[in-house]
Amino acid sequence: MYLKLSSFLDQISKYAGLFSALLVVLLALLVSYDAGMRYLFSEGSIALQEIEWHLFDMVFLLGLSYALAQDKHVKVDIFFERYSTQNKAIVHIFSMLFLVIPFSFVLLLDAFDMTMQSYMQQEISSDPGGLSHRWIIKSMLVLSFTLLIVQAFSEILKSYAKIENKRILFRILRVMLLLGTLVYVAWYNRVEFWIDPVFLMFLMALVLLMIGFHVAFVFAGVALFFALISDEVGLHVLEMLPYRTYGIMGNVTLMAVPLFIFMGLILEKSKMAEGLLLSMGKLFGSVRGGLAISVVLVGAILAASTGIVGASVVMMSLIALPLMLKHGYSASLASGSIAASGTLGQLIPPSIVLIILGDQMHLSVGDLFRAAVVPGLLLIILYIIYILIYAYLNKEVAPAIVVEEAYSDVIKEAIKEIIPPLLLIGVVLGSIFAGIASPSESAAIGVLGAIALALGKRTFSYAMLRYASIETVKLTAMIFMILIGATAFSLVFNELGGGDMALAFFTGDIQSQWTFILIAMLVIFLLGFFIDFIEIAFVVVPILVPIVASFGIDPIWFAILIAMNLQASFLTPPFGFALFYLKGAAGDKINTKAIYKGVIPFISLQLLALLIILLFPDLIYMFGK
pTM: 0.81
Answer whether residue 596 shows pLDDT above 70.
yes
Question: Collapsing DSSP states into helix, strand and coil, what is residue 75?
Answer: strand
CA atoms within 13 A on the CB side of 616: 10
Residue 214 pairs with which residues in a beta bridge?
75
For the segment 585-612, the average pLDDT, to the nearest whole number, is 83
Are the CB atoms for 424 and 305 separated by under 8 Å?
yes
Count the Cβ atoms, other than its own, within 10 Å of residue 207.
12
Report d(CA 277, CA 417) in Å as an integer: 9
The tens digit of pLDDT for each residue in 481-525 reads 888 888 888 888 878 877 667 666 666 666 678 888 888 888 888
The amino acid present at 273, given as its one-letter code, is A
Are the CB atoms for 569 and 523 separated by under 8 Å?
no
Count the Cβ atoms, other than its own, within 10 Å of residue 522.
11
The residue with greater pLDDT, 332 or 426, is 332
Q: Quick one: pLDDT at residue 22?
A: 94
The tens digit of pLDDT for each residue in 184-243 reads 777 667 667 677 777 888 888 888 888 888 878 888 999 888 888 877 777 788 888 888
Report d(CA 372, CA 241) in Å as an integer: 33
Residues 6+ away with beta carbon under 8 Å from 211: 79, 80, 91
CA atoms within 13 A on the CB side of 519: 15
Give the lowest-confidence range in 117-126, 359-368, 432-441.
Answer: 432-441
Query: Is the Cα torsion angle 354, 356, 358, 364 positive or negative in sign?
Result: positive
Phi, psi of 134 (to 5 degrees): -65, -20
Residues 6+ away with beta carbon under 8 Å from 503: 546, 547, 550
Query: Is the Cα torsion angle 423, 427, 432, 433 positive or negative in sign?
Result: positive
Answer whether residue 453 shows pLDDT above 80.
yes
pLDDT band at 575, cuts 50/70/90? low
Burial 448-463 (b: 16+ CB within 10 A, else e): bbbbebbeeeebbeee
DSSP state of 588: G
Closest residue by Cα to residue 393 from 289, 291, 320, 321: 289
